[in-house]
Amino acid sequence: MILLVLAAQAATLGATNYSADAPMTVPTGTPSFADEFDGEAIDQRKWRFDTSRNAEGWANHERQYYAKDRADNARIEDGALVIEAKRETLSKAKFPDWGGQAYTAAKLVSRTPYGYGFYEVRVKLPCGRGSWPAVWLLPSGGKWPDEGEIDIMEMVGWDAGTVHATLHTAAFNHTKGTQRGAQTRIATACTAYHRYQLDWRADAITIGVDDRATMRVANDQPGGKAAWPFTRPYDLILNLAVGGDWGGQKGIDDTAFPQRMAVDYVRYWRR
């Protein structure tokens, strides 16, 4: 998730100077990795729960506690992965790593990192003010943003329907006002499933929705790794945050919770 540290910086998020409008073609053949979420429970051979910063608090001043393998917050329901954010207070005795958060949610990370190829994640998003869903990729280890970050989809509830795609590197990131990205309006983002797509190649990264590119960034800038660190496999992340410097910029509507992010499937074709 984009690491916003000042609310004012959010105004520049998803700059449209890298907007694109071109077809995106889903590969034919069997995906190299897929989860159709058609079982009875989350397949923990494919996913792990990230709870690493519950006690100290998450980045961006987010307000959620990420639960581990708790059906209230992450489950398979009607053939989809449901990540649910709730307004609730937990018990320190039952949840020793609880940091006093007033909201619970979940963050799933792929067990295996993936690299160049085509990704498609079919998702229906939450729209409550204070919600912050994301589908993104981040490498393990190293310092942010030096190792890079790929945000396939982010949306904040206070601006429901505006979907952001963004890249971050040491040379191009929001702290310098140089992040590369684009945004697009999807009126039915919260009422219907849409296919959020990433075509990751050595020479360019293209992100789109429903077979149409919305952002393209080419590997054509000087600077070496600082400009283009996207050369090794990254972990794929699905999460629903609450509040924070961007998600909570206009407050949190407690009456809108619980909020649900539903993921119909995740598919990846290795290139």
Residue 143's pLDDT is: 93
Quick one: residue 156, left, alpha or beta (phi over 0 = left, psi -120 to 50 = alpha)? beta
Residue 191's pLDDT is: 98
Residues of the chain short of pLDDT 70, as ranges, are 1-16
Residue 17's pLDDT is: 76
Say whether 147 is catalytic. no
Cα(162)–Cα(11) distance, rounded to whole angstroms? 13
Q: Which CATH number is 35-270 given?
A: 2.60.120.200
pLDDT tens digits for 98-110? 999 999 999 999 9
Cα(155)–Cα(158) distance, rounded to whole angstroms? 9
Say whether 149 is catalytic. yes
Cα(37)–Cα(21) distance, rounded to whole angstroms? 31
Which residues, 6+ apart, have CB-to-CB distance to 91 below 8 Å?
98
Is the CB of residue 99 less than 8 Å from the CB of residue 57?
Answer: yes
